Structure 1
Amino acid sequence: MLKNLAVAPLLLALSVSPQALAANSAPKAVPITQTVPDAQDVAYPGTMTLDIDASDTMRRAYRVTQVIPVASGAKELILLFPQWLPGNHGPRGPLAELVGVQFFVDGKPVEWKRDRVEVYAFHVMLPAGAKAVTAKFIHTSPLASNEGRVTMTPEMLNLQWEKMSLYPAGHYVRRIKVKPSVTLPQGWTAATALDGMAMSGNRATWAETDYETLVDSPIFAGRYFKKWDLGQKVTLNVVADKPEQLEAKPEQIAAHAALVDEAKLAFGANHFDHYEFLLALSDKIGGIGLEHHRSSENQLEPEAFTDWDKQEWDRNLLPHEYAHSWSGKFRRPARLWTPDYRQPMQGDLLWTYEGQDQFWGLVLAGRSGLQGKDMVLGMLAQWAGGYTQQPGREWRSVEDTGFDPVFASRKAKPYSSLARNEDYYTEGALVWLEIDQILREGTGGKKSIDDFAKAFFGMNPGDYGQIPFEVDEIVTKLNALYPYDWAKLIDTRINQPGQPAPLNGIEKGGYKLVWKEEPNPYAKAAGDFSKTLSLTNSIGLSIDKEGKVTGARWDSPAFNAGIVTGAQIMAVNGVAYDADAMKKAITAAKGEKGTPLDLLVKRGSRFDTLRIEYKDGLRYPWLERVAPGKAPTALDLLFEPKRPGAAAKKAK
C-alpha cells in the first residue's frame, strides 16, 4: 500500500496535459552587449603616470596613484585590469586584491561602474572638460601563502606592475605610454629591466616606456642585494634574507656566465639590449620562476650559494627562464601573442613554448655545468618513468594539456595521474629530445637541434620584439635540415591520445629506462629537500614526513586497496609509520614468498587496516647507457658544452 502511494505522484505528473506544461513561465535570454572595445593598433593619446608606494613592509600593501590622460570631449574612460597574464597561460589577474578604488577629475571624485560582463573593466564617467583621470587604489599583497603568492617581506619585495595598475581599453598595450615610479623602503636596492633609473631619496623613477614593456619588466628589491656581470650585457641581481647568503664563490658565478655563453652559441643571437636575472634567495617570499624578454623572476632556497652541492637538483630554474627569452618571448606561438591582456591566450602550441624551453633549459644547465650529467639524466628519467605509469595518457593528448592552465587554474587535483596536468612541459621536452636524436641519426651526426635553434631563433640579432609562428614553420625548418615526416611525428606525439611513453629520444640516444631500488640523484636530492617519500612507481603513493598521502596513482596497488590523497598512514605491519619502515616493508613484500604489506590508515575519524597486494619491490627510474664502447653517445653529445675548450676542461 505504501509503495502504491509513493508511485501516485509520479502517475499524476505523467498525466499533466501538454497544454498545462506550455503555460509554465519560459523566459528569454537578455542579449549580452559588448561594451568594452577590442584593442586596435593605434596610439593612446598622452602618457600615463604610475606612482606606487611600496614602502609598507609591515602591512604589505602597495598604494597606487595613477594618472591617465583622456581625449578631448570624451564622456567615458574604460580602464582594464590585466586578466590574461603573460607566462601564466591563463586568466590569473588577481582582481580581488585591488581594493579602495577611487577615481578623480580635477581633485573631485567621479562615478564609476564595473562592467556587468567583463568584470575586469571599469567604466569611469567624465565631466565636461576633463583632461585626465586620477585613479587611487591599493594592491593588498597576500600576507600568507593560503591567500596567494607572498610578494613582500621585511627583507625584500617582488613588484609586478600588472597586479597594481590599469590601462585604457581599445589599444594595443605597446601603444600606451607610461612613466613609472616607485617608493621603496629606506636603504633598499632595486633591479629591473626598465631603462633610465634615477633615485631621489628612496623614490625610484624610470624613463617613459610603453605598457607592454612595463608589464614585462618587474622589480626585485631588497635590503640585502648584490649583483654580478655575467658578460654579453647580462647581469645576475640577487636579493637575500640575510647578507651572508649573498657570498657566492667565483666558480659559482662562472657557471652562470657559462650559461649566458652557451645560450648564445645554441641560439645564434641575443634578443635583448640587456638582460637582468632577478633572483631571490629566500624561504619567506613566494616561489616563482617567470619569464620575461629582458629579465626573469626567480626564487631559490636561501642556501643556493652557501650550500651549493646540495642545491644542484634545483639549479635548472635559471637556465629554463633564460631560454624563454628566445622560446616563448621572441618566438611565440601565434595565438599566445595577444595585443592586450583582455584577449584570451590559446594554449594549443604550449608544447613548443614551454616544452621546447623545458628541453633547452635542461640542455643549457648541462652544458654550462650548473647541473652535472647525473643530475640531468636523473631529471630525464623522472619525466620518462612517470609517463610509463600514467593512465591519463589513454584519453588526453599532450596538446589538450595546453588548455589545463585555463580551466584547472593550477590547483591540486584528486587524481592527477588520470586527469593529467600541464604535461606539455616535460612530455613536450621529451618530444624535442626525439627530434634532436632523429636529426643526429638521419644525418650521421652532421645536424642536430642546435642547427634548428639557429634557424628558428637566430634571426634579427638584437630584436626584442616578437615573431609569432605556427607549427608549419617548425616542420619547414626541420625538413630543411633533414627530410622526414615531421608533421606526422608531431601529430602523433602531440595531438593523439593513447600513445606509449615517449622514450624514443632516450633510446635513440644510446640509453634506456631502467628501474632500481634506490632513487636516482635528482629524485633523491629533491625528496631529501621536500622530506617526502615517493612510492609513485611502486605501490602508487607519495607521502609527506608525517605519513599523510599527498598523491595516489589511479589504479595503483595502494589505490585499489582504498588509500587515497588525504589519508594518513599510522602504522606499517603493526609498527608506527616512518619512511624507512615503509621502504623496508615494501622490500620485504617482494616476490611470491614476501611478507604481506598491511597498513593502518586513518581517514577522517575512521581507522582501517588495509592490505596492499604488491610484490615488485621499490622502483625508481634511471637512465642506463646501452651503447657499446666508451665513445659519447648521441645523448651524451647533446649535453656537451659548446664553449671552446670547455669539453676538455670538463673531462679533466
Structure 2
Amino acid sequence: MRRTLAFAALLLATTAPAAAQLSAPQPVPIVDTIPAARDIDYPGTLRLTIDATDVEQGIFRATETIPVAQAGHMVLLYPAWLPGKHAERGEIEKLTGLTFRAGDTVIPWVRDAVDVYAFHIVVPEGVEEITAEFQFTSAVSSNQGRIVVAPSMMNLQFPSMSLYPAGYFTRRIPISATVTYPEGWTAVSGLPATRDGSTYTYETASYQVLVDSPVFAGAHYREWELSDRVDLNAFADRPEMLEAATPEMIAAHRRLVDQAIKLFGTQPYDQYEFLVALTDEMGGIGLEHHRSSENGVGVDYFSDWDNALGDRDLLPHEFVHSWNGKYRRGADLWTPDFRMPMRDTLLWMYEGQTQFWGYLLAARSGMLSKDQVLGALANVAAAYDARVGRRWRPLIDTTHDPIVAARRPKPWTSWQRAEDYYNEGLLVWLEADAKIRELTNGRKSIDDFASAFFGSGRDGDYGEVTYTFEDVVATLNGVVEADWTEFLTERLMQTSDQAPLAGFTENGYRLVYTDEPTPWFRNYQSSRNIADHSYSLGLVTSRSGGISAVIWDSPAFEAGLDVADDIIAVNGNAWSAEALTEAVRAAQGGTEPIRLLVKSGERYREVAIDYHNGLRYPRLEKTVSGVAGLDRLLAPR
C-alpha cells in the first residue's frame, strides 16, 4: 500500500509541471478602422442605377457612382441594422460580383474582419469619384429568404442593392437613384419619381430617406385615392384579383385614413403610399416606412373580403407606424447610420401600442367589425393567459427577441416566449386606457395620450422625434396624474403568474372559455389550416396532423408530445382534425384518456392524454349593462 501511494505521488509530481506549461496565447486586439458617423454633409451626391428587369432569375444589377473627398483609405458600408427589422437583417450574403473602379482601373477591396458589412478600399491620388458594380441575387426559393421577385410583381428595397460611405450620418448623404423595370410595369414608392417608359428617376434625397422608400412594381396595378395625401396602391398576381374590389371595400380604407387623422391630429408625411401586394408568389411582408408601407396580403384580399380577416388589421398597423415608430421613435432605437446597433428596449411602445391602435382603427374604420375585433382580442388575451414563460422572463426582455432569436422557429414558444411585446404590449395599453377612464370618470381615454404624444409636431414633418421611458410617463401624467412609472415598471420589468387582463375587466368585459369557437376563431383556424386546442389539450396541429405548438405544462406537454410529432390516429381511428375535436368533446367528465398514435421520424408510439374538461375556446363576455369602456374605445370618432 505504501509503495502504491509513493508511486502515485511520483507520477503526480512529474505530470503537474507539464500541465502548468500548456501553450497560452493572448488575443489579437480588435482595432476598429471604420470611421464613426459624423453629423456633417457628405461632399457630393451618390448616383445609383439599378437594372431590375430580370424577372426570371431575380437578379438586380446595380452600378453606383460615389464621389470621394480625398485619396487614401475609404470604407463603404452595406446596410446591416435596418429600421423596422429590429435586428441586423441586411442580406449581405446576396451581394455578389462587387467591383470598384476609378475610371478603367480596378480598385482592390478587403472586407472588414470584424464587421462583414464593411469594405475597405484605397482611393488613388487624383480620383474624384469611384464606381461600384455588383448584383443583388435575390432568393428564388423560400428556404433562401423572402422571395421579392415574382412573374408579375417585385418588391425592390434600396438597402439591398446599395452601399454608402462610412463616416457620415446617413441623413447627410445625398443620393439619386434610377431604376429600369420590366416593360409595361408600373412602380410606386413613397419617394417621388419621374418616368420615362420603363425607367424611373427618383427624386434626390438623403440615403436615409432612400432606404426608407421601398418600391412595389408590377404588371397588374390599381390605385385608389384615399385622401388628398394618401393613396392605396395594389399589385396582384392576376388582374381579376384587383377587379374584385368594391366601392364599399375602398370606403373602409378611406375611413381608416380619416380615423387615424382624427386620432393623432397632424400627419407626419407629405404624401403616404400604401403598397399592397395580393400574391401567393411573392413573399409576405408587413413593414413600416415614414411615407409608405409594404403590405403583403392574400390573393383573396378583395375577392373573399368577408373571410380574409387575418389580413385586415395589417394596413391599420403599418399606417399607425408612420406616427409611432417612424416619427416618434425610441431614443435608443434611432441610429445615425445602418451600422450602429439598434437597442430595442422601447418596442413595447413602438410595436405594442401600434398593435393596440391597429386593432382599434380596424374597428373604428370598419376594416373589421366590432365583433371581429372582440374575437381577435379574445384570442390575444387567451394566448397570454397561457403564456407561462411570464414566470421567468419579463415582458421587457422579449424586446431583445428579434436579435436573440432572429425570428427562427422555437420548440416551446409558450415557455421560451417570443416577440411578446407586440400583443402583451397591446394588453398593457388596453389596461392604461381603463386606468385613464377610471381616474377621470370617463372624461379622458388613451386617445388623449395619442393626440398629445403623436400629434404635437409640425404637419408634414417626416423627420424623427425620439422619446424615452420618461417621456412616455410624462405624457401619461399630462393626461391624468397617476403612478405611471410604477404601473409600467410592474408590467414590463416583473415576472408574473397572471396575464395583464385588467384592460378587459376594468373596461366592462372578461375573458371566458366556451365549447364553441367565435366566428373569429373559426376563421383563424380555417385561414391557417390548423386545429387549435391550445386551451384544452394544449396543442395546435395542422389539418394533416403535424403538431405545430405544444403549451408548456399543458396536458399534451405532460403526455410527452412536442413539435416534432405527427398524430396518425385518434382513439384507434385515422387522424382528422374533426376526430380530435370530437375526442376532446367525448372525454369531458369521463375517466378514459384520449389515446393518440404518434409518429416521430421513423418511430411510432402511443400517447395517452389525461384530459376531461372539454373543449375550450376563448371569447370576451360583457359584464356590464349599457355602453362599456371597451365599447367606447372601439367606436368610430
Task: Give the TM-score normalised by structure 2.
Answer: 0.97
C-alpha contact (below 8 Å) 1:399/1:424 kept by paired residues:
yes
When residues 482 and 241 of structure 1 are mapped into structure 2, their CA distance, relative to the original with a 3 A threshold, is same
Where do 5+ consecutive residues of structure 2 fail to align? none
**Residues 540-579 of structure 1: matches in 2 within 5 Å?**
540-579=538-577
Partner of 1:28: 26
C-alpha separation in 1, matches of 2:338 and 2:133: 21
Structure 1 position 21, deviation (Å): 2.4
Partner of 2:200: 204
Structure 1 position 311, deviation (Å): 1.1
Structure 1 position 232, deviation (Å): 3.7
State the SS of the aligned residue for 1:472.
Answer: helix
Pick the aligned partner of 2:634 from 615, 631, 639. 639
Partner of 1:189: 186
Summarize deviations over 1:612-636 as a string: whole Å, max 9, x none.
1111111111101011x2x211000
Summarize deviations over 1:400-449 as a string: whole Å, max 9, x none.
00000012000001111110000000000110111111111111111111
C-alpha separation in 2, matches of 1:526 and 1:107: 59
Q: Does 1:428 align with 2:425?
A: yes
Partner of 2:409: 412
Partner of 2:100: 103
Partner of 1:476: 474
C-alpha separation in 2, matches of 1:430 and 1:441: 17
State the SS of the aligned residue for 1:84.
Answer: coil
When residues 200 and 458 of structure 1 are mapped into structure 2, their CA distance, relative to the original with a 3 A threshold, is same
Pick the aligned partner of 2:149 from 152, 167, 170. 152
Partner of 2:231: 235
Partner of 1:69: 67
Structure 1 position 18, deviation (Å): 4.7
When residues 424 and 13 of structure 1 are mapped into structure 2, their CA distance, relative to the original with a 3 A threshold, is farther
Summarize deviations over 1:310-342 as a string: whole Å, max 9, x none.
112320000000000001011001001100100
C-alpha contact (below 8 Å) 1:588/1:594 kept by paired residues:
no
**Residues 222-371 of structure 1: matches in 2 within 5 Å?**
222-247=218-243, 248-371=245-368
C-alpha separation in 2, matches of 1:477 and 1:114: 46
C-alpha separation in 1, matches of 2:588 and 2:169: 63
Alpha carbon RMSD of aligned pairs, Å? 1.7
* 1:59 maps to amino acid: Q
C-alpha separation in 2, matches of 1:157 and 1:483: 50
**Residues 603-642 of structure 1: matches in 2 within 5 Å?**
603-627=600-624, 629=625, 631-642=626-637
C-alpha separation in 2, matches of 1:548 and 1:177: 51
C-alpha contact (below 8 Å) 2:152/2:218 kept by paired residues:
yes
Partner of 1:121: 118
Structure 1 position 498, deviation (Å): 2.1
Q: Does 1:171 align with 2:136?
A: no
* 1:470 maps to amino acid: T
C-alpha contact (below 8 Å) 1:572/1:585 kept by paired residues:
yes
May I ask how many residue pairs the two structures share in their alignment? 632
Structure 1 position 304, deviation (Å): 0.6
When residues 103 and 614 of structure 1 are mapped into structure 2, their CA distance, relative to the original with a 3 A threshold, is same
C-alpha contact (below 8 Å) 1:549/1:566 kept by paired residues:
yes
C-alpha contact (below 8 Å) 1:493/1:499 kept by paired residues:
no
State the SS of the aligned residue for 1:227.
Answer: strand
Partner of 2:596: 599
Structure 1 position 13, deviation (Å): 8.4
State the SS of the aligned residue for 1:402.
Answer: helix
Where do 5+ consecutive residues of structure 1 fail to align? 643-652
* 2:238 maps to amino acid: K
Q: Does 1:217 align with 2:192?
A: no
State the SS of the aligned residue for 2:159.
Answer: helix
Partner of 2:134: 137
Summarize deviations over 1:163-218 as a string: whole Å, max 9, x none.
111100010000001000111000000010112x1222211111211100000000
* 2:319 maps to amino acid: Y
Structure 1 position 109, deviation (Å): 1.0
Runs of at least 4 residues of structure 1 off by over 3 A?
A: 9-19
When residues 10 and 80 of structure 1 are mapped into structure 2, their CA distance, relative to the original with a 3 A threshold, is farther
When residues 269 and 13 of structure 1 are mapped into structure 2, their CA distance, relative to the original with a 3 A threshold, is farther
Structure 1 position 20, deviation (Å): 2.8
C-alpha contact (below 8 Å) 1:598/1:611 kept by paired residues:
yes
Pick the aligned partner of 2:449 from 452, 461, 485. 452
Partner of 1:510: 508
Summarize deviations over 1:516-536 as a string: whole Å, max 9, x none.
122222221121011111111
* 2:389 maps to amino acid: G
* 2:371 maps to amino acid: D
Tell which deviates more after alignment, 286-295 or 542-551: 542-551
Structure 1 position 126, deviation (Å): 1.6
State the SS of the aligned residue for 1:336.
Answer: coil
Partner of 1:500: 498
Pick the aligned partner of 2:485 from 478, 481, 487. 487
Partner of 1:650: none
C-alpha contact (below 8 Å) 1:255/1:370 kept by paired residues:
yes
When residues 12 and 63 of structure 1 are mapped into structure 2, their CA distance, relative to the original with a 3 A threshold, is farther
C-alpha contact (below 8 Å) 1:313/1:522 kept by paired residues:
no
C-alpha separation in 1, matches of 2:311 and 2:520: 9
Structure 1 position 12, deviation (Å): 9.3
C-alpha separation in 2, matches of 1:15 and 1:398: 55
State the SS of the aligned residue for 1:428.
Answer: helix
Percentage of matched positions with identical amino acids: 48
Task: Give the TM-score normalised by structure 1.
Answer: 0.95
Summarize deviations over 1:579-608 as a string: whole Å, max 9, x none.
0000000111111x2542000001111111
Tell which deviates more after alignment, 475-484 or 82-91: 475-484
When residues 387 and 11 of structure 1 are mapped into structure 2, their CA distance, relative to the original with a 3 A threshold, is farther
Partner of 1:648: none
C-alpha contact (below 8 Å) 1:510/1:634 kept by paired residues:
yes
* 1:344 maps to amino acid: P
Structure 1 position 374, deviation (Å): 1.3
State the SS of the aligned residue for 1:529.
Answer: helix
C-alpha separation in 1, matches of 2:404 and 2:310: 31
C-alpha contact (below 8 Å) 1:232/1:260 kept by paired residues:
no
C-alpha separation in 1, matches of 2:552 and 2:592: 24
C-alpha contact (below 8 Å) 2:388/2:497 kept by paired residues:
no
C-alpha separation in 1, matches of 2:46 and 2:535: 55
Structure 1 position 10, deviation (Å): 11
Tell which deviates more after alignment, 549-558 or 581-590: 549-558
C-alpha separation in 2, matches of 1:497 and 1:36: 41
When residues 309 and 133 of structure 1 are mapped into structure 2, their CA distance, relative to the original with a 3 A threshold, is same
C-alpha contact (below 8 Å) 1:588/1:595 kept by paired residues:
no
When residues 130 and 503 of structure 1 are mapped into structure 2, their CA distance, relative to the original with a 3 A threshold, is same
C-alpha contact (below 8 Å) 2:592/2:610 kept by paired residues:
no
State the SS of the aligned residue for 1:456.
Answer: helix
